[in-house]
């Protein structure tokens, strides 16, 4: 692929080709040879097309500031090519022109592909001009604006927490674009809160909490810029003289006080819109009288505010889902029964990247014969669908265990049949146990295991062993068989731990190292109080790369 015509399509496909005539550009293949160049790039460098195509871009163009050949090991263009990711030049570079002169350039590069097979890098550049002192937004080059927008998108979309999103937004604005940044957010009830007022002072960001707080209601008739922005109107340039007139609303009074306190001589205000509503307004201000914002600054602010609005909307959607999930979790996880002489503790940790609930659960409840049912289980998945399926299986198991005075294996068989016909759950694992008094007055355990990790028994003197007996296939296979149950007496003072695979399984290590780690740490913690026993196991045993939720149920007999 060669020539100027191909370059625009490649660069446009990479999402980097702006409609600006002061930008030159060229494309190199994966070996660093120039395969396409645009007309403006040739004009800036003074070359003919045939002098450029096929040449190594580093040898042909890249020079040091004094005109020497730049070492390949220090070439930022080669580093960008090898990294295969978008790179914004942090400092200017120098290109050798056809007449032997040097052209100082600012540049950006991004990987690209063409013809379904070729791969390389697109480089956009323009002549670096001396920057005006005292101006910020007006001095930003087109490439710097593109880089700022790209950074805004990447930084704001990489968090789902509203406060962090606001903090990152003001860091992007100050001092790169302005001396001051003000963020006003509206909640779902329409109340507006001045969330952040930040300015740059002595090389650091300073927050003015005394200027933050609730704002008066937004007047539907106010013509003042902030009121219009909070209603969703277009961005506008504002000076302090706008608010010196008679205020037409309570917000106008607050704005007049803001300009007086901050000393802003020029400001720009833009609405932050979500897909369905206005989420707030972003205000940036400059103190210097000779650094007024212009229409290019306003256009840039609108683009930034639009991205901020989408990021805040995603954050609020996540928070609403999280609230629903947490409410659901509180109703699904049971209160442990009071069994005289027996101590119980339970823990639940959600999957790190899920909606706070999942398919793992624990349960404990009294049975009509005076024994206590103990359950730990796992429905495939760790999202709200898995949580809903878990609720179905849990409730069916409770009903079956209460109404049928049968061994745990028979109850699990009934659950398998009911789950197949009465629920949407495809697969699940669980351990169902029955804790009851033995003939000698001690405590006995009878259990059945349907494809679940084995319970761990830890004696008072620190011996730990997995209860491997009685394990058969998981629920939902459609294979009829009778699940065996096992009975054993629990040693005095022993601790019994039920858990789900999220405690021990790692995507990189598998499950065996986690099981060994769990047994080792449980033995060391045998004499710790039961709550501390559970907390420390979660802290010490759960794999760092765990991506599943975890449920624990522990009991200690007298």
Q: Each residue of 251-277: pLDDT tens digit?
A: 999 999 999 999 999 999 999 999 889
Sign for the pseudo-dihedral over CA of 296, 302, 307, 308? positive
pLDDT attached to residue 12: 42
pLDDT attached to residue 491: 94
Give the model confidence (pLDDT) of 23-59 as tens digits.
899 999 988 999 999 999 999 999 999 999 999 999 9
- Of these ranges, 67-71, 217-221, 419-423, the one predicted with the greatest mean pLDDT is 217-221
Closest-CA residue to 487 (of 558, 377, 407, 369): 407
We find that the CATH architecture of domain 333-556 is: 4-Layer Sandwich (3.60)
Place of tokens 């590069």: 109
**Distance in Å from the first CA to the final CA of the chain:** 80
pLDDT attached to residue 13: 40
Instruction: Give residue 88's pLDDT band: very low, low, confident or very high (50, 70, 90).
Output: confident
Any idea which fold 143-321 has?
Beta-Lactamase (3.30.450)
Place of tokens 């302090």: 240
Question: Is the distance from CB of 339 to CB of 435 less than 8 angstroms?
Answer: yes
pLDDT attached to residue 435: 96
Give the model confidence (pLDDT) of 309-360 as tens digits.
999 999 998 888 777 766 776 677 788 999 999 999 999 887 765 545 668 8
Looking at per-residue pLDDT, the higher value among 380 and 248 belongs to: 248
* Predicted TM-score of the model (pTM): 0.55
pLDDT attached to residue 134: 41
Residue 1 has pLDDT above 60, yes or no: no
Sign for the pseudo-dihedral over CA of 404, 405, 411, 413? negative
Place of tokens 């999957």: 351
Place of tokens 């999220």: 502
Closest-CA residue to 198 (of 216, 212, 214, 217): 212
3 state SS of 113: strand
User: Residue 320: which H helix or E strand, with range?
Assistant: helix 295-332
Query: What whole-number distance in Å separates Cα of residue 311 and Cα of residue 314?
Result: 5
Give the model confidence (pLDDT) of 463-512 as tens digits.
999 999 877 788 887 666 566 778 999 999 999 999 999 999 988 888 99
Cβ–Cβ contacts within 10 Å for residue 44, how many? 20
Query: What whole-number distance in Å separates Cα of residue 519 and Cα of residue 556?
Result: 16
Query: What whole-number distance in Å separates Cα of residue 50 and Cα of residue 438?
Result: 94
Percentage above 90 pLDDT, the chain: 50
**Which CA distances in Å does 544 have to 83, 452, 505, 509, 537?**
27, 22, 10, 11, 13
Any idea which fold 4-129 has?
Beta-Lactamase (3.30.450)
pLDDT attached to residue 10: 47
Looking at per-residue pLDDT, the higher value among 459 and 472 belongs to: 459
Place of tokens 């097309």: 49
3 state SS of 244: coil
Question: Is the distance from CB of 17 to CB of 8 less than 8 angstroms?
Answer: yes
pLDDT attached to residue 273: 94
Cβ–Cβ contacts within 10 Å for residue 261, how many? 12
pLDDT attached to residue 383: 66
Residue 186 bridge partners (DSSP):
192
Decide if 143-321 and 333-556 have a common fold.
no
Query: What whole-number distance in Å separates Cα of residue 529 and Cα of residue 12?
Result: 64
Instruction: Give residue 283's pLDDT band: very low, low, confident or very high (50, 70, 90).
Output: very high
Percentage above 70 pLDDT, the chain: 89
Residue 142 has pLDDT above 90, yes or no: no
Question: Is the distance from CB of 521 to CB of 540 less than 8 angstroms?
Answer: yes
Give me the half-sphere count of Cα atoms (radius 13 Å) on the Cβ side of residue 251: 23
Sign for the pseudo-dihedral over CA of 389, 394, 397, 398? negative
Looking at per-residue pLDDT, the higher value among 509 and 114 belongs to: 509
Closest-CA residue to 408 (of 375, 361, 380): 375
| 3-state secondary structure labels for all residues of 373-438 | EEEEEEECCCCHHHHHHHHHHHHHHHHHHHHCCCCHHHHHHHHHHHHHHHCCCCCEEEEEEEEEEC
Query: How, if at all, do strands 471-472 and 443-450 pair?
Result: parallel
Q: What mean pLDDT do residues 186-195 have?
A: 91
Q: Mean of the per-residue pLDDT values for the chain?
A: 86
Sign for the pseudo-dihedral over CA of 397, 348, 162, 192? positive
Q: Which of 110-124, 199-213, 315-329 has the lowest mean pLDDT?
A: 315-329
Q: How many helices (H) and strands (E) does the chain have?
A: 14, 25
Residue 170 has pLDDT above 60, yes or no: yes
Domain boundaries along the sequence of the chain: 4-129, 143-321, 333-556
Q: What share of the chain is helix, strand, coil (3-state, %, to 5)?
A: 35, 30, 35
Residue 282 bridge partners (DSSP):
183, 270
Residue 237 has pLDDT above 80, yes or no: yes
**Which CA distances in Å does 255 have to 206, 232, 252, 287, 329?**
19, 18, 5, 15, 43
The two three-digit tokens of residue 98, written as one number: 């056809």
Closest-CA residue to 301 (of 145, 440, 417, 159): 145
C-alpha R_g of the chain: 33
Instruction: Give residue 287's pLDDT band: very low, low, confident or very high (50, 70, 90).
Output: confident
Residue 137 has pLDDT above 50, yes or no: no
Query: How, if at all, do strands 236-238 and 62-63 pair?
Result: unpaired
3 state SS of 531: helix
pLDDT attached to residue 357: 62
pLDDT attached to residue 54: 93
């Amino acid at each position: 692929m060669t020539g100027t015509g191909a370059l625009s399509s490649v660069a446009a496909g990479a999402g980097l080709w702006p409609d600006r005539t002061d930008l030159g550009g060229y494309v190199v293949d994966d070996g660093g040879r120039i395969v396409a160049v645009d007309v403006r790039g040739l004009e800036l460098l003074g070359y003919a097309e045939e002098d450029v195509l096929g040449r190594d871009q580093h040898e042909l163009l890249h020079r040091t500031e004094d005109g020497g050949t730049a070492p390949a090991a220090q070439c930022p263009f080669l580093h960008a090519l090898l990294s295969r990711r978008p790179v914004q030049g942090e400092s200017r570079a120098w290109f050798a022109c056809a007449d032997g002169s040097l052209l100082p350039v600012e540049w950006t590069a991004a990987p690209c592909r063409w013809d379904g097979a070729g791969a390389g890098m697109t480089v956009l550049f323009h002549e670096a001009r001396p920057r005006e002192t005292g101006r910020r937004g007006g001095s930003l080059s087109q490439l710097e604006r593109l880089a700022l927008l790209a950074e805004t998108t990447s930084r704001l979309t990489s968090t789902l927490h509203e406060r962090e999103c606001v903090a990152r937004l003001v860091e992007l604005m100050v001092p790169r674009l302005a001396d001051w940044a003000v963020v006003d957010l509206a909640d779902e009830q329409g109340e507006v809160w001045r969330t952040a007022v930040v300015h740059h002072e002595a090389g650091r960001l300073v927050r003015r909490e005394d200027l933050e707080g609730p704002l008066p209601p937004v007047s539907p008739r106010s013509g003042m810029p902030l009121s219009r922005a909070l209603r969703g109107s277009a961005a506008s340039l504002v000076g302090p003289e706008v608010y010196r007139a008679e205020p037409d609303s309570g917000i106008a009074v607050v704005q007049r006080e803001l300009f007086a306190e901050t000393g802003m001589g020029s400001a720009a205000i833009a609405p932050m819109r979500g897909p369905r509503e206005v989420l707030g307004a972003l205000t940036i201000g400059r103190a210097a009288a000779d650094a007024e914002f212009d229409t290019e600054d306003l256009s840039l602010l609108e683009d930034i505010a639009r991205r901020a609005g989408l990021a805040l909307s995603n954050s609020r959607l996540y928070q609403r889902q999280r609230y629903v999930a947490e409410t659901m979790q509180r109703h699904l996880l049971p209160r442990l029964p009071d069994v005289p002489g027996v101590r119980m503790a339970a823990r639940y940790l959600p999957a790190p990247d899920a909606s706070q609930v999942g398919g793992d659960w624990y349960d404990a409840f009294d049975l009509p014969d005076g024994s206590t049912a103990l359950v730990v289980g796992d429905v495939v998945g760790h999202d709200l669908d898995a949580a809903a399926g878990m609720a179905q299986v849990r409730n069916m198991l409770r009903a079956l265990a209460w109404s049928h005075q049968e061994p745990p294996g028979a109850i699990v068989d009934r659950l398998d049949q009911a789950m197949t016909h009465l629920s949407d759950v495809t697969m699940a694992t669980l351990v169902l146990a029955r804790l009851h008094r033995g003939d000698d007055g001690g405590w006995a355990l009878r259990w059945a295991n349907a494809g679940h990790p084995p319970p761990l028994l830890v004696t008072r003197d620190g011996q730990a062993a997995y209860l491997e007996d009685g394990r058969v296939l998981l629920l939902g296979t459609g294979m009829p068989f009778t699940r065996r149950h096992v009975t054993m007496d629990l040693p005095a003072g022993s601790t019994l731990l039920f858990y789900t695979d999220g405690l021990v399984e790692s995507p990189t290590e598998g499950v065996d190292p986690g099981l060994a780690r769990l047994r080792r740490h449980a033995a060391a913690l045998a004499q710790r109080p039961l709550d501390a026993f559970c907390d420390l196991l979660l802290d010490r045993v759960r794999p760092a790369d765990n991506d599943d939720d975890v449920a624990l149920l522990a009991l200690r007999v007298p």
